[in-house]
Amino acid sequence: MEFTAEQIAGLLQGEVDGNASASVHGLAKIEEGTNGSLSFLSNPKYEEFIYTTGSSICIVNKTFVASKALPETLTLIRVDDAYACFAKLLSIYNNMNRKEPAIEQPSFIHETASIGNDPYIGAFAYIGKNVKLGNNVQIYPNVVLGDNVSIGDNSILFANVSVYADCQLGNNVIIHSGTVIGSDGFGYAPDEHRVYQKIPQIGNVVIEDDVEIGSNCSIDRATMGSTFIRKGVKIDNLCQIAHNVDVDQHTAMAAQVGIAGSAKIGKYVMIGGQTGVAGHLHIADDTKIVAQSGIPSTIKNADTLMGSPAFNHNDFKRSYLGFRKLPFILSKIYEFEKQLKELTKTKNND
């Protein structure tokens, strides 16, 4: 599908600088642009590429001033925020590629399941008893939905996602391939012979609206009650959320984060990759945690944390500088000790 510069400018409320009839049929990074592609420039460090790009159209900020001649074949669309506008176009493009409504065969849909309007259900999907799907839900091939699962409008579950029984997903939820929602929490108790006995996990997982979860994540069901992923949360690939965790609204975490049982994560928290969070603690709203940090205790006030155990990142950096100089400091201490011994020996001889 092709779009002209004039049409794109209309969508973005931008201004065409060049050929309004210039057309594009694909998207590309500015350094990789070819004829017929649309790119954007928002970061000044990439400006050099706009003078050599092969793209037909480039979205730029209204404040952009070329320092040298632009390619003759390049048309600019000037907008208030090039990055945000390009993201908007990506969203439009993505929506255009949504699956057409269909129920592919073979697939299994229990007779008690309730399915809303315009579903896409891929081949080999399994939909259990009393499942409820909202309107425009997309269930890709090999997805498994256990009994009593509910999924809200416009949600997408990509291939090989498994949602265990009784879990609830809201509207506009996106879950990527290989993720498991509602697997048993890690609950065991040793008996009199010190043999671990499984504690039944009878709760569920509740995922609210506008949540996106990456591939190969695991979100455990609660022992009792619910594990909560609140509205607007974004979770990267390969994350582990344990039983009875509560991740509050609009928190984001990067890949390989692990959160232990019953931890409470506040609103607008940002967690870097490979961070580990201990169980039964609370992290204050607006906290930022640098990658590979360890959080062993409650964070009462918003801060930017780093290290394991984590503390204020500026203090950590100063401490790390001291740590790096430790061999030098130790050598100086040994040198001073040697000099002190020699001085003491000389004084004793006197």
Residues acting as catalytic residues: 243
Distance between CA atoms of 164 and 148, rounded to whole angstroms? 9
Q: Is the N-terminal amide bond of 71 cis, ω within 30° of 0?
A: no
Question: Do the bridges between strand 3-4 and strand 23-24 make them parallel or antiparallel, or are there none, so unpaired?
Answer: antiparallel
Contact 267, 284 (CB under 8 A): no
> How far does Cα 151 stand from its chain's mean position?
20
For helices 5-12 and 82-96, what crossing angle results, to 10°? Answer: 110
Beta pairing, strands 304-306 & 311-312: antiparallel
Burial class (CB in 10 A: 0-12, 13-18, 19+), 350: exposed
* Separation CA 114–CA 283 (nearest Å): 39
Task: Give every CB contact of residue 32 below 8 A, 6+ residues apart in sequence.
Answer: none
Give ∠ CA 130-135-138 in degrees, rounded to 5.
85
Q: List the end-to-end C-alpha distance of the chain, in Å, as a whole number.
A: 98
